[in-house]
Amino acid sequence: MKNRFKELFLFTIAIAGLGLANSCSEDFTEVSPLGSTSYANFWKTEQDAQEAVNSMYAYMTDQEMFSRGFFWYINASDDMVTGRIKAAADNIKDFNISGGEGSYTSTCYPKSYQVIRRANDVILNVPNMEISEALKDQYLGEAYFMRAFSYFWVAHTYGDNGANGGVPIVTELNMNDEAGSYTRPSSVIENYQQIEDDLKMAVDLLPLFTSYSAENYGRPHRDAALAYIAKTNLYWAQYDQSRYAEVVRYADAVTNSGSGRALIDTNNPEKDYRELHSHLNNWGSEYIWSVDSGIDGGSILTGVMLENKGWGKYNGWGYFTPSEGLYNEFEEDDIRRGVTMLNFGDNFTYFGEERRYQSENSNSGFQFNKYMYEFQYENPVGTYLNTNGDNPSTVYNVPLMRYAEVLLMKAEALIADGKNGDEPLNLVRERAGLSPKSNATMADLKHERRVELAGEFANRHFDLVRWGDAQEAYSKPIYGRIYSDRSNPDSPYTSEVVWPARNFDPSYMHVWPIPATVIQSSGIAPNQGW
């Protein structure tokens, strides 16, 4: 969506008086009354509808959502360490939090519900507007997708099928109920069912991505809805194994949609995987869903993972540094390792200069390389990088779902269901230049998912939780490489503990605490144990 960030800012200012800008607070009801003059008068023109729909995307680029917010939870995994000493971040990684961690994770939940409320507004009002039926379908499809996408993140992050239950279901039918009247469903399965229902509506209403003109790139499309049905069912399957068949069904629906979804694979593995993680393939055949980004705004994960202070060239933040365990997980001839992470002595280009990786800041001796393609150019600031180092987005759209994950979800569902998952798993391996697996096991799948999707929003932490592997994985310390001279890429290193073993109690740590502000304002039950 061309110039969307500037348009969204202006739109937010313009409609603040309607209550749409803050449309859903922690109690889900901070909005102008349904019958108010300002609210009713807004929903009149095609421009009104478009602006309301565009407002749903404002939080996609929020630092506390898909830049760092949800990633602090992923940082709890064994793939990385925090990278810099930061008390709140360290406490999250150590599962030592209460839900009062300020801007780190305490706003992921309420901001997701703000998106949900904006989607509810669209679903409630657009059907009665005097605009074309084609536009109604498009806008409603986007709203159903964004509502489902937001629920997907809060449901698995905070809800379960045990003592806690799901998260409150707020739709266009009950969004104006009395504050404090919302309750948690008995199971997160109710959330997953709602998500699936919404996504099926989106599938029926949304076009294929390939039918969009360039100015509409970044809007939800049919394949994204199909892929998130598959992922919702994959998470659902931890409670009901019959859902694995639905994972396969909807993964195949993505493949066969007619949009040409496919791996980037020209039989040049290193080039293919390197350019996959760059702006060159923002909208390529592997794109499913991402954070639409640019030099004027977007996900700042690209700069957050960069060397602290960027070797004096750019304001990197130095968070989320890979572990030695992740490095060792790659097979020796797996080209993905060099693309995914930098090890001392590795060659790379930075601001037009050929360098060998070294870091006086990295706590682990490594850095994620996946998001660094745009930093290679001689004068990248203002063309490839944000001019504001405090908002270090790039022209690379940080992926939230790739086609490779769709294939790995299918492989996992087949293997877990006692069937053969070799075909989809080996498509991913062969793109990486590796030999195929025969009669692949869950161990093979877990390995492949870890190395293919490392450092991404695919969510290694929750994978470990849903597989029942988190307690064992986190009972081991995390190692890094500590060099005798951190300014010298050829200096010797010792493998040392850079994060101690953690006590992960799966009886309650399988979900994160609902933010304290939400509990206080909404009256819903907190997650037990925290």
pLDDT at 340: 98
Q: Longest Cα pair distance anywhere in the chain, in angstroms? A: 71
Using CA of residue 254, residue 216, residue 401, residue 511, what is the dihedral sign?
negative
Note whether 395 and 294 are within 8 A (CB).
yes
Q: Any bridge partners for residue 297, and if so which?
A: 294
pLDDT at 16: 39
pLDDT at 85: 83
- Residue 530 to residue 528: CA distance in whole angstroms: 6
List, in order, residues 6 or more apart from 237 with CB less than 8 Å away.
243, 244, 247, 413, 416
- Residue 311 to residue 307: CA distance in whole angstroms: 7
pLDDT at 103: 65
Count Cα atoms within 13 angstroms, Cβ side, for 93. 25
pLDDT at 86: 85
pLDDT at 11: 45
pLDDT at 247: 98
Provide, for the chain, the percentages of residues in helix, strand and coil under a 3-state DSSP scheme, each rounded to the nearest 5: 45, 10, 45
pLDDT at 101: 66
pLDDT at 415: 98
Q: What is the pTM of this model?
A: 0.94
Using CA of residue 184, residue 187, residue 188, residue 192, what is the dihedral sign?
negative
- Which residues in 1-19 are b (16+ Cβ under 10 Å) and which e? beebbeebeebbeebeebb
Note whether 363 and 478 are within 8 A (CB).
no
pLDDT tens per residue across all 530 residues of the chain: 544 544 443 444 344 334 443 333 334 434 344 555 577 789 999 999 999 999 999 999 998 999 999 999 999 999 999 988 888 899 999 999 988 766 688 899 999 999 999 999 999 999 999 999 999 999 999 999 999 999 999 999 999 999 999 999 999 999 999 988 999 999 999 999 999 999 999 999 999 999 999 999 999 999 999 999 999 999 999 999 999 999 999 999 999 999 999 999 999 999 999 999 999 999 999 999 999 999 999 999 999 999 999 999 999 999 999 999 999 999 999 999 999 999 999 999 999 999 999 999 999 999 999 999 999 999 999 999 999 989 999 999 999 999 999 999 999 999 999 999 999 999 999 999 999 999 999 999 999 999 999 999 999 999 999 999 999 999 999 999 999 999 999 999 999 999 999 999 999 999 999 999 999 999 999 999 99
Tally of helices (H runs) and strands (E runs) in the chain: 20, 10
In the chain the first and final C-alpha atoms are separated, in Å, by 41
- Residue 498 to residue 323: CA distance in whole angstroms: 9
